[in-house]
Chains A and B, each alone.
Chain A
């Protein structure tokens, strides 16, 4: 196997329990996002656009859809003869096998995969986040500083800092302190869960961590604190731009709505940094004579006869005459009957909504209503959260 300077390990095993009905049959990274994508498209496209051509995708929960979606990585230009995408689920060995116990353990269990490429650096990322980032810039910084590990950090509002793992850095951006979800944060620099390690250093920490029966085998809780304790060279890579963990229904909804601004921070219409996804081969959308569509993202294959405002429509959605869709996310192949009203809702794939239904509650502070996939909602029904 040809040696690689850097390979990526993409943690895609998230169960996404807080996404409720959306993750009943889906791993969190496979949850649809932005009218066209699945969450994992962002990190895979980042890898592809950053020139990283070897990506191990660590899967665990509900892998079926995710695995078939990934295929051999063709959609992200990652179908490579040497490298490319490799799906790495937990497996059984002669001495038995284990579920991935934690983020670090998932890497430890795949040391054999990593060593096949004998890389100098390993990029560890998570398939749960929405952002565009050039990992190559981070790598160059890592090399220039002679770091042993580099962690990407983003400034978050002070009032939210206690939800994150936050870092203290010195004047050279060397990381001096790490606190996981502190009650009284001393800094608002949050870890984005993006790490570059020198492989030899990481490997020794992984092996030691594995021998510690009290460890939770987690990067944020175990590996990074231990490295700091032993005063290894950990540096911060400061990131500016859009970054969002879409782990809850609220944050998923918000991140979708963020895209509807006239000039969103996360620009999808960026030819220099395209986000790739698996193409469903649908025709251009049809907007009927009496339809209106405003402040929305609409994907191919949709037919809109009604009114769509401030919403995201995935492919193949049918909006019936006189229907109103407002502040909502409508996932692929949903059929919305005539005169239906949908307010502030997330409607999962394949749902059929009969005529005259009212879904969700109008108003800025209304709660989000979630309709699970392949639901059938009979005519005239009223559903709210």
Chain B
């Protein structure tokens, strides 16, 4: 894929995850036992063969930058192209941040200096495993100006507030997009556009003081340009609040979802920690769970996800919970319906029981 560059747009504030995004951007929220949300988008780009990707960041970027490094896990440590991490280019304190398009405008050179003809723009809270090749081919064949990627979801099964849904005609042209009409065609906030058009539209919008990528650059212009829709048929996890984070995490305990999200069509890459294989002691009792490397399990774990390096002592019981990296669960402790952020320590005999419908997040490095 030599003719495409990628953009991962993190420039839109996204505060729905509250506790989990207290000290990190949504892109670096841990997910699936060893990943961060951005890994899925980056791996999709890597598996498509895209070798030039810009990450437009907003704030709280420490964990994100640490995670991305030189981009080598995604084969983005390239002589030509590679990974660009681009924070907002605004003048402090005179200028205010006004929206993600301002980021695009501030880094317009990223586009101008690229020879590639097409740009794929996406965000990081829609988790899926996909190869953009087919969508790109569709974009080229249909001679669309813009191609929006969507996934068909039964609106009754998942809360789709905060999602755009597309109104698509029989020629796969997008006739409208909004948050109200229930079409079930959920816009994945991923689109393909001809680079020259993107640059032109960024300039145009910013001149009009319009700074919202989806609203101003796309939704406003649906009638003006030929905007087509491409359907992604695989699994999609939409993470837009703590409840959906929990629910979508638990769906990974379905082996079919596990196989699809982690293997098809490509592998998912992440920063390597060189943890040893998970160790199960004689008293370990684990059922229906995802266990990452570096864990040492002596207790009982059911319907749960253990991230890398979690220690579960003898007699401890973990149920319906997500336990992030390096947490320690003491002897005979009980953890139920909980999300434990990284490095939480639950002392011996403590009991933390939450409600599955409204899982509680325990902040990073808490000791309980």
User: A residues near B, CB below 8 A?
Assistant: 34-36, 74, 262, 268-269, 274-277, 279, 281-300, 303, 308, 312-313
A277 with B255: CB separation less than 8 A: no
With A and B bound together, what is the CA distance between A312 and B269 in angstroms?
A: 24
Within 8 A of A (CB), among B287-333: 287-294, 296, 305-307
Within 8 A of A (CB), among B257-289: 258, 261-263, 267-270, 272, 274, 276-289
A275 with B276: CB separation less than 8 A: yes
Closest 5 pairs between A and B when the two form their complex, measured CB to CB: A284-B33, A268-B276, A35-B277, A283-B262, A284-B292
A297 with B287: CB separation less than 8 A: no
B280 with A36: CB separation less than 8 A: no
User: B residues near A, CB below 8 A?
Assistant: 32-34, 72, 253, 255, 258, 261-263, 267-270, 272, 274, 276-294, 296, 305-307
With A and B bound together, what is the CA distance between A279 and B255 in angstroms?
A: 22
| Known interface pairs A262-B282, A298-B277, A303-B255; A283-B34 also in contact (CB < 8 Å) | yes
Q: How many whole Å from A338's CB to the nearest CB in chain B?
A: 14
Chain B residues within 8 Å of A277, by CB = 274
Chain B residues within 8 Å of A285, by CB = 278, 290-292
Q: Which of A275, A291, A298 has the most CB of B within 10 A?
A: A298
With A and B bound together, what is the CA distance between A303 and B255 in angstroms?
A: 8
Chain B residues within 8 Å of A313, by CB = 277
Number of residue pairs spanning A and B whose beta carbons lie under 8 angstroms apart:
108
A283 with B276: CB separation less than 8 A: no
With A and B bound together, what is the CA distance between A262 and B286 in angstroms?
A: 17
Pick the contact of B268 from A262, A274, A281, A297 — CB < 8 Å? A281
| Known interface pairs A284-B290, A284-B305, A288-B255; A269-B280 also in contact (CB < 8 Å) | no
Nearest residue, chain B, Cβ from A268? B276
With A and B bound together, what is the CA distance between A277 and B276 in angstroms?
A: 10
Pick the contact of A283 from B33, B272, B284 — CB < 8 Å? B33
Chain B residues within 8 Å of A303, by CB = 255, 258
Chain B residues within 8 Å of A308, by CB = 280
With A and B bound together, what is the CA distance between A128 and B253 in angstroms?
A: 39
With A and B bound together, what is the CA distance between A295 and B279 in angstroms?
A: 7
A281 with B269: CB separation less than 8 A: yes
24 example contacts (A-B, Cβ-Cβ < 8 A) are as follows A35-B277, A36-B277, A268-B276, A269-B276, A269-B296, A274-B274, A275-B276, A282-B262, A283-B263, A284-B33, A286-B255, A287-B291, A291-B287, A293-B280, A293-B284, A295-B282, A296-B279, A296-B280, A297-B276, A298-B277, A298-B291, A300-B293, A303-B258, A308-B280
| Known interface pairs A284-B292, A285-B290, A286-B258; A298-B280 also in contact (CB < 8 Å) | yes
Chain B residues within 8 Å of A288, by CB = 255, 287-288
With A and B bound together, what is the CA distance between A136 and B168 in angstroms?
A: 67
With A and B bound together, what is the CA distance between A262 and B298 in angstroms?
A: 10
Chain A residues within 8 Å of B306, by CB = 284
Chain A residues within 8 Å of B305, by CB = 284
| Known interface pairs A34-B277, A286-B253; A299-B284 also in contact (CB < 8 Å) | no
Nearest residue, chain A, Cβ from B283? A294
B277 with A299: CB separation less than 8 A: yes
Q: How many whole Å from A261's CB to the nearest CB in chain B?
A: 10
Q: Which of B261, B278, B289 has the most CB of A within 10 A?
A: B278
B255 with A294: CB separation less than 8 A: no
Chain B residues within 8 Å of A268, by CB = 276-277
A281 with B267: CB separation less than 8 A: yes
Chain A residues within 8 Å of B276, by CB = 34-36, 268-269, 275, 297
Q: How many whole Å from A197's CB to the nearest CB in chain B?
A: 31
B274 with A275: CB separation less than 8 A: yes
B287 with A290: CB separation less than 8 A: yes
With A and B bound together, what is the CA distance between A286 and B32 in angstroms?
A: 11
Q: Which of B34, B274, B292, B307 has the most CB of A within 10 A?
A: B274
With A and B bound together, what is the CA distance between A312 and B280 in angstroms?
A: 10
With A and B bound together, what is the CA distance between A154 and B30 in angstroms?
A: 44
B290 with A297: CB separation less than 8 A: no
| Known interface pairs A279-B272, A283-B268; A294-B284 also in contact (CB < 8 Å) | yes
